């Protein structure tokens, strides 16, 4: 499945993946992170800056104009959707759920 992702979606995606995995899930996680990690080229393109350990900024307009397309396997999509479903009982700010539900919908293999 191919989908375009913004920087914010890519950051969220890397952070919602479980810390505890089976070997197969660990391999899926590594593959996903390798695909969506923020490269030096991405950073230049969107003026990405690391303000502090937990704070980054970038030009959202440049990001929207230059979204990258990624191809995920069905197994990777199912793994991410399973990870999101596991978060569903937790409480998070609205913005978190907006991004997470967009990812959930974008990686729906039944729509491809």
Where in the chain are the domains? Answer: 2-111
Q: Which residue has the tokens 């089976």?
A: 22
Percent of residues, the chain, with pLDDT higher than 70? 99
In the predicted model, is pLDDT for residue 100 greater than 90?
Answer: yes
Q: What pTM was computed for the model?
A: 0.91
Contact status, residue 65 vs residue 4, Cβ threshold 8 Å: no
What's the pLDDT score for residue 7? 96
- In the DSSP assignment, the letter for residue 72 is -
Which residue, among 38, 32, 20, 15, has the nearest Cα to 74 in the 3D structure?
A: 32
DSSP-assigned beta bridge partners for residue 52: 55
Average pLDDT (9-23) is 95
Contact status, residue 57 vs residue 49, Cβ threshold 8 Å: yes
How far is it, in rounded angstroms, from Cα 2 to Cα 110? Answer: 13
């Amino acid at each position: 499945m191919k989908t375009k992702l913004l920087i914010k979606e890519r950051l969220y995606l890397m952070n919602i993946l479980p810390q505890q995995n089976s070997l197969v899930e660990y391999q899926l996680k590594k593959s996903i992170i390798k695909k969506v990690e923020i490269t030096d080229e991405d950073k230049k393109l969107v003026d990405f800056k690391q303000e502090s350990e937990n704070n980054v900024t970038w030009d959202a307009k440049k990001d929207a104009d230059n979204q990258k397309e990624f191809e995920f396997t069905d197994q990777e999509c199912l793994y991410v959707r399973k990870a999101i479903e596991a978060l569903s009982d937790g409480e998070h700010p609205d913005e978190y759920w907006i991004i997470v539900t967009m990812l959930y919908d974008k990686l729906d293999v039944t729509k491809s």
